[in-house]
Amino acid sequence: MENARAQKAALLVLQQGDLVVEAVASINEGVTLVSVPLSTNEAIPITLVNSVKHSLKTIRPLAKVP
């Protein structure tokens, strides 16, 4: 995550045609195992996931403004 300059990351797994959030990691809180459907998880922006899913492109974080 640090190499990507990300503060948060999530592991999504496709199960029976639906995306499931299996784990969420953050710089401050470490890794949390959750195993919940993406549609019910409030921590992960669904619009961002759908954008990546349809474009198949990596989203890079914006540079922080000092």
Residue-level pLDDT at 2: 56
Which of 31-35, 38-42, 62-66 tops mean pLDDT? Answer: 31-35
Cβ distance 23 to 31 under 8 Å?
A: yes
Residue-level pLDDT at 4: 58
Quick one: 16 exposed, middle or buried, by C-beta within 10 A (0-12, 13-18, 19+)?
Answer: exposed
Average pLDDT over residues 17-45: 89
Q: Which pTM does this prediction carry?
A: 0.71
Look up residue 9 and give its two tokens.
Answer: 């990351």
Which residues, other chains included, contact 25 with Cβ-Cβ below 8 Å and sequence gap of 6+? 1, 8, 9, 10, 11, 31, 32
Residue-level pLDDT at 31: 92
Residue 5 has pLDDT above 80, yes or no: no
Quick one: 17 exposed, middle or buried, by C-beta within 10 A (0-12, 13-18, 19+)?
Answer: exposed
Average pLDDT over residues 52-59: 81
